[in-house]
Amino acid sequence: MPRFAANVSLMYTEHAFADRFAAAAADGFDAVECLFPYELSPDKLARRLRELRLRLVLFNLWPGDWAAGERGLAALPGREAEFAASVERALDYARASGCRLLHAMAGQVPAAAGADAGARSAMHRTYVANLRRAARVLAPHGITLLIEPINTHDMPGYFLSHQQVAHDVVAEVGEPNLKVQMDLYHCQIMEGDLALQLRRHIQGVGHVQMAGVPGRHEPDSGEVHYPALFDLLDALGYSGHVGCEYRPRAGTSAGLGWWHSARKV
């Protein structure tokens, strides 16, 4: 059975962000992930993790102006300095907390550039160059940089949406500490055939996430039979965590029946 990490950005939202770590620990999680830890200082975050004996396994680089609809900077021409600053900021948090996986969100394709091959090509070049530089900055610290295909229903216009494209980018960048964050929820919506996708790509996957499809709720609901995929991950030798990046239908703790059952296996 894989190890699981509670995503404290989507789970435990009945608590203030700083209190979600304790709630996850109380439910039995020994690892967490989040979208953005920047509400806390690096020292406060690290202290909270130590006190609760939690491991932070993943968080995202600063994505730009989230409230205004920005969803990352890595593929945006003209924003290279901001992206580089986001890498340095995340590195401060990673070094303090011991986190070894950082996700760089690509960003949105501007509406005017959607059908413009030249504009998309410029974004691709920017993406590759930014990822290569960031991976080289992070490598001496033992940190792996991740990119994630995100479905276009939840995030219309996102630059990266398919697994093979992500792995092609990783190959083009050519840095050993760049891998793909495979969210089975997004992959099911865009491509399906999750077992095939795992078998095909697992060697290049640095982190796995999950949620029920549709609805992005607990993984014991919807069209995906996760127990079979958990067994497959074990058979494929995946040793990382599976991030529980879902929105509970009701209270987080009340919806953890799947988690308690998995722990007994």
List residues with catalytic annotation: 148, 245
Identify whether 156 is preceded by a cis peptide bond (ω within 30 of 0): no
d(CA 238, CA 235): 8
**Residues contacting residue 21 through CB under 8 Å, at least 6 positions apart:** 8, 32, 48, 49, 52, 54
Which secondary structure element, helix H or strand E, spans residue 55, and what is its range?
A: strand 55-60
Q: Which tokens is 134 given?
A: 């960031």
d(CA 120, CA 207): 27
CB environment 79-116: b (16+ within 10 A), e (fewer): beeebeebbeebbebbebbebbbbbbbbbbbeeebeee
Q: Is 154 exposed, middle or buried (0-12, 13-18, 19+ CB in 10 A)?
A: exposed
Question: SS3 of 231, please?
Answer: helix
* β-pairing verdict for 241-244 and 3-7: parallel
